Structure 1
Amino acid sequence: MDKENKFRKINYSKIKLDPENPRLPGSFRRGRKEEKDLINWMLLEAATVELMYAIGQNGYFIGEQLLVVEDKENPENYIVIEGNRRLTAVKLLNEPELANVKKSAISEVIENTEERPQDIPCLVFEDKSEILKYLGFRHITGIKSWKLLQKASYLYDVYHNEFDDKNFITKCRNIAKNIGSSSNYVRRLITAFNIFKKVEDEGFYSISGLDDTKFHLNYLVDALNKKNIKEHIGVNINSNTPLKDLNQKNLKELIFWWFEKTEGLPRVIGDSDGLKKLDLILGSEKALEAFRDGKSIDDSVELTKDIDSIFRTEIIKSLERLESADNLTHKVEDFYSNLYEDLKMIRKLALKIKEYKDQIEDSKDEF
Structure 2
Amino acid sequence: MEDNGITYEKVDDLHLDMENPRLPLGVKKTEKDVLTYIANTTSLEDLMDAIAKNGFFPGEPLVVVKEGGKLVVVEGNRRLSAVKLINDPSSMNRPGRLIREISGTVEYLIDELPVVIKETREEVLPYLGFRHITGVKQWDPLSKARYMKQLFERTDSHISAPDRYKDVARAIGSKSNHIKRSLDALAVYEEIEEQGFYDIAELDEESIKFSVLSTALADERIANFIGTAKKDEDGDSEYQHPIVDGSCLDRDSIRNLTIWLYKKDESGSTKIGESRNLKMLGAVLDSEQACHAFMKGSSLDYAYRLSKGSDEEFIELLYIAQASIEKAASLVATSDFSQEALDAARDINKTIKLIGTSLKEKKVDDDEF
State the TM-score, normalizing by the size of structure 2: 0.79
Q: In the comparison of the two structures, how many residue pairs are matched?
A: 350
> Retained in 2: the 8 A contact 1:53–1:113?
no
State the Cα distance separating 1:172 from its structure 2 match.
Answer: 0.6
Deviations 1:207-230 (A, max 9, x none): 455443344332331122112111
> Retained in 1: the 8 A contact 2:85–2:103?
no
**Residue 68 of structure 2 aligns to which amino acid in structure 1?**
K
State the Cα distance separating 1:245 from its structure 2 match.
Answer: 3.1
Q: Which of 200, 212, 218 pairs up with 2:211?
A: 218
| Alignment partner, residue 148 of structure 1 | 141
2:360 paired with 1:361: yes
> Retained in 1: the 8 A contact 2:169–2:175?
yes
SS at 1:121's partner residue? strand
SS at 1:303's partner residue? helix
Alignment partners' CA distance in 2, 1:244 and 1:12 = 45
Q: Which of 274, 277, 298 pairs up with 1:274?
A: 277
| Alignment partner, residue 58 of structure 2 | 62
Alignment partners' CA distance in 1, 2:17 and 2:218 = 34
Taking a change above 3 Å as real, the CA distance of residues 166 and 320 of structure 1, as seen in their structure-2 partners, is: same
| Alignment partner, residue 15 of structure 2 | 16
2:87 paired with 1:94: yes
1:45-194 alignment, distance < 5 Å: 45-74=41-70, 78-110=71-103, 117-194=110-187
State the Cα distance separating 1:297 from its structure 2 match.
Answer: 1.8
**Residue 15 of structure 2 aligns to which amino acid in structure 1?**
K
Q: Which of 32, 39, 52 pairs up with 1:36?
A: 32
2:291 paired with 1:295: no
Aligned residues: CA RMSD: 3.8
| Alignment partner, residue 224 of structure 2 | 231
SS at 2:94's partner residue? coil
| Alignment partner, residue 285 of structure 1 | 288
Taking a change above 3 Å as real, the CA distance of residues 7 and 231 of structure 1, as seen in their structure-2 partners, is: same
State the Cα distance separating 1:311 from its structure 2 match.
Answer: 5.9
**Residue 20 of structure 2 aligns to which amino acid in structure 1?**
N
State the Cα distance separating 1:307 from its structure 2 match.
Answer: 4.7
Alignment partners' CA distance in 1, 2:260 and 2:183 = 22
Taking a change above 3 Å as real, the CA distance of residues 12 and 310 of structure 1, as seen in their structure-2 partners, is: same
Alignment partners' CA distance in 1, 2:345 and 2:159 = 68
State the Cα distance separating 1:140 from its structure 2 match.
Answer: 1.1
Taking a change above 3 Å as real, the CA distance of residues 364 and 165 of structure 1, as seen in their structure-2 partners, is: closer
Taking a change above 3 Å as real, the CA distance of residues 93 and 351 of structure 1, as seen in their structure-2 partners, is: farther
Alignment partners' CA distance in 2, 1:346 and 1:112 = 83
Where does the alignment leave 5 or more consecutive residues of structure 1 unmatched? 324-328, 330-334
SS at 1:63's partner residue? coil
> Retained in 1: the 8 A contact 2:27–2:34?
no
Alignment partners' CA distance in 2, 1:48 and 1:230 = 39
SS at 1:213's partner residue? coil
Taking a change above 3 Å as real, the CA distance of residues 20 and 125 of structure 1, as seen in their structure-2 partners, is: same
Alignment partners' CA distance in 2, 1:322 and 1:24 = 57
Taking a change above 3 Å as real, the CA distance of residues 253 and 364 of structure 1, as seen in their structure-2 partners, is: closer
Moved more, 265-274 or 196-205: 265-274
Where does the alignment leave 5 or more consecutive residues of structure 2 unmatched? 230-237
SS at 2:52's partner residue? helix
2:249 paired with 1:246: yes
**Residue 250 of structure 1 aligns to which amino acid in structure 2?**
S
Taking a change above 3 Å as real, the CA distance of residues 337 and 307 of structure 1, as seen in their structure-2 partners, is: same
> Retained in 1: the 8 A contact 2:264–2:271?
no
> Retained in 1: the 8 A contact 2:227–2:240?
no
**Residue 298 of structure 2 aligns to which amino acid in structure 1?**
K
Alignment partners' CA distance in 1, 2:357 and 2:177 = 54
Alignment partners' CA distance in 2, 1:9 and 1:322 = 81
Deviations 1:107-159 (A, max 9, x none): 34345666854321111111121111111111111111111111111111111
Taking a change above 3 Å as real, the CA distance of residues 310 and 293 of structure 1, as seen in their structure-2 partners, is: closer
Taking a change above 3 Å as real, the CA distance of residues 128 and 60 of structure 1, as seen in their structure-2 partners, is: same
Alignment partners' CA distance in 2, 1:338 and 1:51 = 71
Alignment partners' CA distance in 1, 2:310 and 2:271 = 24
**Residue 69 of structure 1 aligns to which amino acid in structure 2?**
V
SS at 1:123's partner residue? strand
State the TM-score, normalizing by the size of structure 1: 0.80
Taking a change above 3 Å as real, the CA distance of residues 346 and 6 of structure 1, as seen in their structure-2 partners, is: farther
